[in-house]
Amino acid sequence: MITIGINANWDTDKKRVNIPNDYVTAVIRAGGLPLLCPLTDDAAVWKAMVDKCDGFIFPGGEDIHPKEYGEEVLPGCGQIVPERDAQELFTYNYLLTTGKPFLAICRGIQLVNVAHGGTLYQDIRSQLATDVDHARYHISVGPIHQVEIQEGTLLKDILGQTSALVNSRHHQNVKAVGKGLRVNAISQDGLIEGLEYEDGYPGIALQWHPENLAATYPAMQRLFDWLVKEAEKRA
């Protein structure tokens, strides 16, 4: 069975890892075996987890430390877990050397952008004028707003549609796009909602949470189906 590694969130108060179950069920529906990758300070283990998995998911969670994109922490920035930043940046950069496919979701798209030299809005509400409330944390499914899927992108090929209604549970967002990345989805207020690769690397990064939508909206489940199928090609 194709294995999909899912990086874990970190509960600072309880000192334990966790992952929302919708990631797990979406991978299982796609025919994959989800494996939880816990937070650790051992770089050899980080590498081994990538080696053992056929594909990867970088999920939502805490804010990335602004030092990773050359900024000071602003008042609107949220909880930071530097240990997770270190592990996921290593994991992501090593994953790229393997050619294995991945999905990067919410924090994940921010991680991808930062890893390629891009920047983030540390807090949308305080840094950008928009009439869309992107930080709708209490609504898992939604929909909250529409995104436009860009023509000629891998995301368009996977979803098979030019727009989508999505949920929205984030207060940070991609600002300047990192080197080698291209925008594949844009919110109705102009914010970047998706990234992929100019060179065609099999990776999709999204600001919304398709795992919460996958049980109801077939197009969102197709993202996880694609991940497992791409991983199977390379297994």
| Helical residues (DSSP H) of the chain, grouped into ranges | 21-29, 43-52, 82-98, 107-115, 124-127, 154-159, 210-213, 218-234
Mean pLDDT over residues 204-221, rounded? 97
For residue range 16-75, list pLDDT tens digits in order.
999 999 999 999 999 999 999 999 999 999 999 999 999 999 999 999 999 999 999 999
**Whole-number Å distance between alpha carbons of 164 and 28:** 23
Note the pTM of the prediction, 2 decimals. 0.97
**Residue 151 banded pLDDT, cuts 50, 70, 90:** very high
Q: Which CATH number covers residue 125?
A: 3.40.50.880
Chain-centroid distance of CA 27 in Å reads: 15
87's tokens: 């592990």
Tell me which residue range forms the domain holding 191.
3-234
Q: What pLDDT is attached to residue 170?
A: 97
Catalytic residues: 106, 209, 211
Total tally of structural domains belonging to the chain: 1
